[in-house]
Amino acid sequence: MNLILFEPHELDENQLVLNDRRAEHIRKILRLTVGDTVRIGMVNGRMGQGRITALNEHGVGLAVHLDAPPPEVPEVELILALPRPIMVQRIIKQATVLGVRHFHLIRSAKVEKSFFHSPVLHPEKLRNLLLDGLEQAVDTRLPEITLYHRFKPFVEDIVPTLTGNRLIAHPTVATRLPSAVNQAGKSSKNILAVGPEGGWNTFEMECFARQGFVGFSMGSRILHVDTAVVALLAQLQLCAQIFSRDSTAAL
């Protein structure tokens, strides 16, 4: 936990009282005491410092001063064919750490209906995974998660409303990610579509292609979806840094 997050309703003027895992983290992991400060942030708000004013086995009191905005990160929306529940948990947290701002969890031909009934998709469970990711990344902006039970309405009605460079991973495409980013456009925002481990079917790829998605693959190695998502998001960040550096050098 690199950032202590709190909800707006928890703050009373500039005073905050914690009596849950956050207080335990301050006492037992950080081993702070009265007068020490800790990095703190309001969910969907600003960041700053919390000065410990009281500390005992029942909780921690903090005087809060928020003076900084959350960090700027590349805008990424992730379209994900809903994987097995255990992978969903890994992906949501790690993709939040890497800056995904909106998750579109969709049904594809190779996604089992039962996945949509998993307790992992309960709103409170998903929110906790997002908060875990923000605490790790030192960010306060809570991503959105939207579920879609039907593929065709999503790709025909929702995808046209999304803005950004449109990229889709598929194992049989020869193009690599840097080339695909160059082809997709010059927006600072990316929309990344990742399918199930068996890949999208032909119909799904054709639907995405009609919506302007540029296909690419990660090479000959076949990765689990949770590994692929993390690798792709990291590569997108690297591409953004390289292209930004090259653009600046050309001026």
| Ordered per-residue pLDDT tens for the chain, 251 residues | 899 999 999 999 999 999 999 999 999 999 999 999 999 999 999 999 999 999 998 899 999 999 999 988 778 999 999 999 999 999 999 999 999 999 999 999 999 999 999 999 999 999 999 999 999 999 999 999 999 999 999 999 999 999 999 999 988 888 888 788 888 777 778 999 999 988 899 999 999 999 999 999 887 777 889 999 999 999 888 877 766 555 545 44
What is the H or E stretch that residue 207 is in? Answer: helix 202-210
Write down the pLDDT at residue 27. Answer: 93
Distance CA 236, CA 241 (A): 9
- Quote the pTM value: 0.91
pLDDT of residue 69: 94
Q: Which among 155, 123, 129, 141 is positioned nearest to 73, based on CA atoms?
A: 141
What superfamily in CATH does domain 75-250 come from? SPOUT methyltransferase, trefoil knot domain (3.40.1280.10)
Contact 212, 157 (CB under 8 A): no
Q: Quick one: pLDDT at residue 245? A: 56
> Which residue ranges does the chain devote to CATH 3.40.1280.10?
75-250
The residue type of 30 is L
pLDDT of amino acid 169: 92
* The pair of three-digit structure tokens given for residue 206, joined into one six-digit string: 């054709």
- Where along the chain do the CATH 2.40.240.20 domains lie? 4-68
How far is residue 73's CA from residue 46's CA, in Å, rounded to a whole number?
A: 15
Angle at 104 between CA 99 and CA 109, to 5 degrees: 135
Fold category of 4-68 in CATH = Ribosomal Protein L25; Chain P (2.40.240)
The pLDDT of residue 251 is: 42
